[in-house]
Amino acid sequence: MNTDAARPGLNADPLSTGPVTSPLLKMRRISGYGVAIAVMPYLAIKILWTFGLFLPTEQMGESSWRTINAATVVLAVVAIMLAMAFCMPWGERLPAWLVVLPVWVGTGLIVPMVLLAPVLGPAAMAKDNAAGAAGIWAYEQTLIMVSLVGVGIGLPLCLAGYAKARWPEALGGRTPCTEPAGNTRQLQVTLAGLAAGGCVLLAVTKVYWATGGTLGIDPTLLAKRDVWWHLLSFSTGAWALAGAWGVLMLAIRRGSRRFLPPMAAAWTSSGVLFAQNLYSSLSATRADAQPSPEYPVARVLTGEAGIVLGVMMGMTILLVLHDRRRALGGQP
188-229 pLDDT, tens digit each: 999 999 999 999 999 999 999 999 999 999 999 998 898 889
pTM of the model: 0.82
Cβ neighbours for 50, distance < 8 A, ≥ 6 positions apart = 66, 69, 70, 73
Cβ neighbours for 117, distance < 8 A, ≥ 6 positions apart = 145, 148, 149
Backbone angles phi, psi at 22, to 5 degrees: -60, -30
Q: Which pLDDT band, with edges at 50, 70 and 90, does 128 fall under?
A: low
Distances (CA, A) of 219 to 22, 145, 232, 289: 59, 33, 20, 19
pLDDT tens-place string over residues 256-303: 788 989 999 999 999 999 999 998 888 887 766 778 899 999 999 999
50 vs 116, higher pLDDT: 50
Q: Provide the phi-psi class of 19: left if phi over 0, else alpha when psi is between -120 and 50, else beta.
A: beta
The highest-confidence range among 1-10, 36-45, 153-162, by mean pLDDT, is 36-45
Q: Within the chain, where are the H helices?
A: 3-6, 8-11, 22-50, 63-87, 96-130, 136-166, 185-210, 227-252, 260-283, 296-327
- Percent of the chain past pLDDT 90, that is, above it, reads 42
